[in-house]
Amino acid sequence: MKKILFLLLISTFTTEANPYTDQAKRVTIHRDEWGIPHIYGKTDADAVFGLMYAQCEDDFARVEMNYIEKLGRMSEVKGEKELAYDLYIKLLIDEKEAKAEYKTAPVWLKKLLNAYADGINYYLQKHPEVKPRLITHFEPWYPLLWTDGSIGAISTGDVTEQETALFYGLPAQVASVKYQTPDEKLTGSNGFAVGPALSKSGHSLLYINPHVTFYFRPEVHVESEEGLSVYGAVTWGQFFVYQGFNPYNGWMHTSSEVDVADAYIETTRSRNGQMEYLLDGKWIPFQTKIITLGSRKIKAYFNHRGPVLAARNGKWISVRSYNRARKSLMQSWLRTKTKGLEDYKRVMDMRANTSNNTVYADNKGNIAYWHGNYVPRRDATKDWGVPQDGSSSQIDWKGLHSVDEIVHVYNPASGWIQNCNSTPYTVSGTSSPLRTNYPVYMAPDGENFRDRNAVRLFSQTGKLDLQGLIGLGYDRRLMAFETLLPALVNAASQESDLGEVVEELKKWDYNASTSSIPQTIAIRWGLKILPKIPKPKQFGGETEVIQNMESYARTGSKLAMAQALREVLAELKRDFGTWHVAWGDLNRFQRVSNGDALQMDDSKASIPVPFTSSAWGQLPSYTSRSIQGSKKWYGVNGNSFIAAVEFGPKIKAYSLLAGGQNGDPTSPHFFDQGQMYAEGKFKDIYFYKSDVLKHAVVSYHP
């Protein structure tokens, strides 16, 4: 009897010490030869549990860091340089709201949120050797801080974190602008869809090509017995596939300039020690709350529109935005289980995702595009690219536009759709929506050279299969230099000391290659002149990239162009002993660490890459720069997870991931896709369980 009681006590203790064991047994993870996790769970919650566990196995540090960021606690691990960003986040994302929304969440969503936290906490329990930098226990409300998978999901009405930091009295040194190369600001993502009329097989095709910071998303495959079956890219720490496909349809998100946040100039006064703002002739007290940043206590101000983020010309600026919401998280999950165009439109009609354009294709031959999703209704005669007078409530948003009211195209006669973070009015060539049918705030985006290149290619192509679509997506034409380089050649031809380099530039066909010397010169010269190109704002707040470059090519200073070229030649001679440097000798791909700071080493092995930043009109993107004084340039963002999908009776798909799946430098999957990435060579996607089992290298329960 004592023995039985002892065993019972052991069983009870074990269950209490490991509350996740039963759920772990309902999950199986198969990893293929690339380390990609194929996760199978009995329920959706089981699948989420397994997904989070697998993400932590691959890169717990990135999972944790994404939530350190969204909690506004970056300065606690990276120092005071992050104080401005922490303040920005805490003003825009309300932790109390997230906690309250968790408590009242629908049962199905609460199960997923619990599974999210349990999967990560179980991983930490099983891996005591893993030492979190800050978060030792994950809470189920964390995903409600970050409800959209976009890398740029924070919208602020163009008020910068530097302005906010200065307004609230943070030291000037922590309010400094973070460094970006000029071309990094012009990169983005590509999404293509091909309808049956342009497809060799008669099936719809989808091309998924986000351009983001390297290693921002891994590749995953998640299934459950409750109907979940989805493959694609998941943002570290999130439990839904952000860009991907299921057996019925697929979706690619690009970002755009759809106006989803606005700034307002407030008329204020101080009365009896309280700040008030004027609205419709009445003075209304600002709401306040204390924001804690380390030892600092900051009194923050809010009105009915949102937080006060800045002061300009002595006037306070409030911002109306929609940066997180439970409804947005629900939409992000529910689209992964859609079964066709009408079903997908019903999920789109939740109108809760603020940062997404969507390129869509399905197994019924449908293709579609929506420019944005959450679009507030406003007075179309006003320029919403500038702050509005906040003293009248008439300027406030008037609800949301319906999905069919926003800029969209369904099954265009051209047979194709492309979006490259550009205007939707070229999305399908001659079948594109008409600009005159929509208010400017819906699509203030200008045209860019990637967009122009994609339109050129689709307008000229014959019927495509997946390999043809991949080939189109990897077109190497640097169209921006068709505009800029003739101006440089003209300017340099008038300088006697530049004759040799002019002859070299004249040989270039504008296509990227590792052997090209003129490409090296052109890219380095372009980076010098980009900041000098005037960028006037249009009505609606955006700038026209192509028009600006064309204007500069016509009217820019020839002396300045020639002098920038001389500087390029001098720098190349300094670093390499000659200006005759092939692009592949300069432009490299290397992954030697997985820390916060970029670490690259000229003395260590790296791979030549022919591609450039997509700022120059090339469709594949590879933005590189000198890292910590390196002579060679190393990639920092661009093509990340790329996939090409055919929606036939069975899914056929290929993918490629920047570098590799795992963040551990000792893992065989840290950089096993590096050479393939540099060459644009894709691998097979294993979508069906029979294929997964055939290629499984290891299978296990969490």
Give the annotated binding-site residues: 259, 262
Annotated active-site residue in 75, 150, 155, 189: 189
Instruction: Sort 667 into a burial class: Cβ within 10 Å, 0-12 / 13-18 / 19+.
Output: middle
The single-letter DSSP state of residue 570 is H
Helix axis angle, 107-126 relative to 44-70, nearest 10°? Answer: 70
Distance CA 622, CA 523 (A): 12
Neighbour tally for 436: CB within 10 Å? 6
Query: How many Cβ atoms are within 10 Å of 405's Cβ, its own excluded?
Result: 13
Residue 382: CB partners within 8 Å, gap ≥ 6? 388, 395
Q: Answer yes or no: are the C-beta atoms of 222 and 54 closer than 8 Å.
A: no
Check if 189 is active-site: yes
Largest Cα separation within the chain, whole Å, is 102
Where on the phi/psi map is residue 170: left (φ > 0), alpha (ψ -120 to 50), or beta?
beta
Q: What is the DSSP string of 433-502?
A: PPGGGS-GGG------HHHHHHHHHHHH---B-HHHHHHHHT--B-THHHHHHHHHHHHHTT-GGGHHHH
Binding residues for Ca(2+): 259, 262
- CA count, 13 A, side-chain hemisphere, 26: 18
**By C-alpha distance, which of 440, 424, 478 is closest to 611?**
478
Say if residues 651 and 645 touch (Cβ distance below 8 Å): yes
At residue 139, φ and ψ (nearest 5 deg) are -100, 150
C-alpha torsion 95→100→102→104, nearest 10: -170
Please, what's the b/e burial string for 371-389 (b: 16 or more CB within 10 A of its CB; e: otherwise)? bbbbbbebeeebebbebbe
For tokens 């090296």, what's the residue?
520
| CB of 669 closer than 8 Å to CB of 34 | yes
Q: Yes or no: say if 535 and 544 are a contact pair by the CB < 8 Å rule.
A: no
Tokens encoding 636: 């920092």
With beta carbons less than 8 A apart as the criterion, state whether 235 and 678 touch.
no
Question: Would you state the structure tokens that stand for residue 73, as one six-digit string?
Answer: 């606690």
Point out the residues that are catalytic: 189
